[in-house]
Amino acid sequence: MNLQKRTCFITTKVTGLKPIDIGNGAQQWVNGTVLITINDLRGDFVNGDVTASAATLLHELGHAYYDLSSFLGGSRILPDGGEVNKSQNNQRLIKKDCF
């Protein structure tokens, strides 16, 4: 797949909850599935190269790990829904520590 010079637009969301047994007959809902969607609408994120696309994918996988491993410590990629500054901070962290 040629990712070069392609504008990407990626979002991550929890799409399913599942109950877990927490003892004494009680249950708690936890995140069951996470969906990463690429290029649903137009976007302005990755106008660059493969490295930028890879950073984007790692960013979204960080969200997925945070959402699915909530009781294992989560991820340093923090929730950023609707907050562009937090999203940019997450992206900077990926670029600083992963490349």
Partner 1 sequence: MILPWLVAISSLAGAESGEHVYSVCELLATPHEFNQRIIRVRGIVEGGMEGAWLRDESCPGRFRVGERSLAMAIWLSYQSEYGSPPPRHKAHIDQVERQITAGQRKRTSGLLELTYTGVFETRSEWKLLARRPGETQLWGFGHQNGFPAQLVITDEADPVIGPAGKERK
Give yes or no for a contact between 86 and 77, defined as CB atoms under 8 angstroms apart.
no
Task: Name which of residues 53 to 92 contact partner 1 (CB under 8 A).
Answer: 56, 60, 63, 66-67, 70-71, 74, 79-84, 87-88, 91
Cα-flanking dihedrals φ and ψ of residue 17, to 5°?
-110, 150
Instruction: Estimate the share of the chain in helix, then strand, then coil, as percent rounded to the nearest 5.
Output: 35, 30, 35
Give yes or no for a contact between 90 and 78, defined as CB atoms under 8 angstroms apart.
yes
18 contacts partner 1 (rule: CB under 8 A): no
Position among 9, 38, 48, 89 found at the interface with partner 1 (CB under 8 A): 9
11 contacts partner 1 (rule: CB under 8 A): yes
Position among 17, 33, 76, 99 found at the interface with partner 1 (CB under 8 A): 17
Q: Is 65 exposed, middle or buried (0-12, 13-18, 19+ CB in 10 A)?
A: middle
Tell me whether residue 4 or residue 83 sits nearer to partner 1 (CB atom).
83
Binding region for partner 1 (CB under 8 A):
8-14, 17, 28-31, 37, 40-46, 56, 60, 63, 66-67, 70-71, 74, 79-84, 87-88, 91
